[in-house]
Amino acid sequence: MMTEITKGVTAINTEKYTFDRPEYFDLDQIFDCGQCFRFDRNETGGYDGIAFGMPVTLTQDKETVTVFGAASDSFERVWRDFFALDDDYSGMRDDISHRFGDDRTIKSAMSAGKGIRILHQDPWETVCSFIISQNNNIPRIKKIISAMSARFGEKKICGGKEYYAFPTPEALAAAGEEEIFALRTGFRAAYIYDAAAKVADGKLDLESLRALPTDELIANLMTVKGIGPKVASCAALFGFGKTDAFPVDVWMKKVMAKYYPGGLDIPSLGKYAGIAQQYLFYYERYQVEKRA
């Protein structure tokens, strides 16, 4: 097929799908809030990445978002849900504002991160990715995931560029702990292998977990070696659509100590507590810290 060079696109085929950019949607904020590790900003301002085994390049302007590498059928089948385009962010934000009342911090956070949107990612990839995230930084997390995908995932080609799908639990279980450790995963190798083995042999049925209440889902995920409340909550929020999950990491501990020293009643934040968490996380890590 013919190729084209356009803003944010490097030699990718002309198959593309463009949709109207929602009011609360910004690729920079979506991919810069710590929820997804497979998309990278390219030299022309777009994003190259892969999800559900489908490589794409993404661009946006004030009015539209374009998915290069996707036709209308694959967009409707995969990308509409991935980008949570049917989620009512206006209603979610109203609910969060109501629950926080006159809280100045959440108002500032919601303004600063108004383009954040929780992606609907693959549960297995999310569980494994947040195991890798333990005591790690984002560049190294991405490096490990890329190496693991190149070693055990299926190769895909888009626009002449190689991508690798995230490896299946069966592939990682068959590889064994030593092979996973060889990718410089460190102590996480045992955790990744245990998760892969449990999913591969059906002891942990990720699809059936979707139907569980959030606290039960988190408890089930914590049966995997090395998965604690933070990793399980991240997986619940980013991989299972549990928007009431509220992960507490070092950044959120900083937020709580700085803005809510008397404590934050998380259950009272309701079914969108996780969305509020993302606004607060992004605000402290990427806005306040940049101004310091």
Where helices occur in the chain by DSSP H, the ranges are 27-30, 72-74, 80-82, 89-100, 104-112, 123-132, 138-152, 169-175, 177-180, 188-200, 206-209, 214-221, 229-239, 250-259, 273-282, 289-291
Is the separation of the CB atoms in 24 and 115 below 8 Å?
yes
Sign of the alpha-carbon torsion through 121, 122, 128, 129: negative
| Cβ–Cβ < 8 Å for 148, 183 | yes
Active site residue 198: no
The catalytically annotated residue of 114, 161, 230, 254 is 230
- Burial track 250-270 (b if 16+ CB lie within 10 A, e otherwise): ebbebbbeebeeeebebeebb
List, in sequence order, every residue forming a beta bridge with 164; answer none if it has no partner.
155
- Pair of tokens at residue 27: 């690729």
Closest CA to 35 of 112, 148, 113, 150: 113
Tokens of 41: 């900003």
Tokens of 281: 């996380």
For residue 107, what are the contacts with CB-CB under 8 A and spacing of at least 6? 97, 100
Number of H helices, E strands in the chain: 16, 9
Q: How far apart are CA 16 and CA 47, in angstroms?
A: 14
Q: What are the φ/ψ torsions at residue 34 (nearest 5 degrees)? A: 80, 15
Q: Which residues are catalytic?
A: 230
